[in-house]
């Protein structure tokens, strides 16, 4: 718990359309599960990006000095397959894939890897 006068720092990603890898992952999984697309990426890491809304919420919570700093960075991965494993096995996105069809995790991972390779190439990026 923060005490008066202490600092807090948080990180928020931009909207999913500004995050190339994540956008490809979300699009690919939406195509695999068209009736109920997994939306973890859209809702959570890339769904809380509006600086004014965040500032307003922090102010309502009692934070008196709020500053936002935008940093541009490019996602890097050693291969499309490694990136697919990271997203489909190493985030809560896996839970959403399993909730739709437990037997399709490997298929989803392969589809994401192929989509990433198609968009960005097979080597490191």
Model confidence pLDDT, tens digit, residues 49-73 = 998 998 898 888 888 887 888 888 8
Give residue 36's pLDDT: 97
Per-residue pLDDT at 125 exceeds 90: no
Give CA separation, 7 vs 13, 35, 55, 97, 100, in Å: 20, 44, 15, 37, 41
pTM score of the predicted model: 0.85
pLDDT, tens digit, for every residue of 70-100? 888 887 889 999 999 999 999 999 999 999 9
Q: Which two tokens stand for residue 73?
A: 């960075």
Angle at 17 between CA 31 and CA 59, to 5 degrees: 125
Q: Average pLDDT in the 89-112 region?
A: 97
Confidence (pLDDT) at 96: 97
Which among 23, 10, 9 is positioned nearest to 75, based on CA atoms? Answer: 23
Mean confidence (pLDDT) of the chain = 91
* pLDDT given for residue 78 in this prediction: 93
User: What are the tokens at 21?
Assistant: 């890898």
């Amino acid at each position: 718990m923060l005490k008066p006068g202490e600092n807090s720092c948080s990180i928020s990603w931009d909207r999913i359309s500004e995050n190339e890898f994540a956008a490809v992952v979300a699009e690919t999984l939406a195509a695999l599960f068209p009736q109920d697309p997994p939306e973890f990426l859209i809702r959570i890491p890339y769904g809380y990006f509006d600086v004014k809304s965040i500032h307003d919420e922090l102010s309502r919570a009692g934070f008196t000095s709020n500053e936002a700093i935008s940093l541009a960075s490019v996602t890097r991965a050693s291969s499309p397959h490694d990136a697919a494993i990271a997203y489909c096995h190493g985030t809560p996105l896996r839970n959403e894939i399993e909730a739709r069809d437990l037997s399709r995790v490997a298929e989803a991972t392969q589809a994401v890897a192929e989509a990433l390779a198609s968009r960005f190439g097979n080597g490191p990026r």
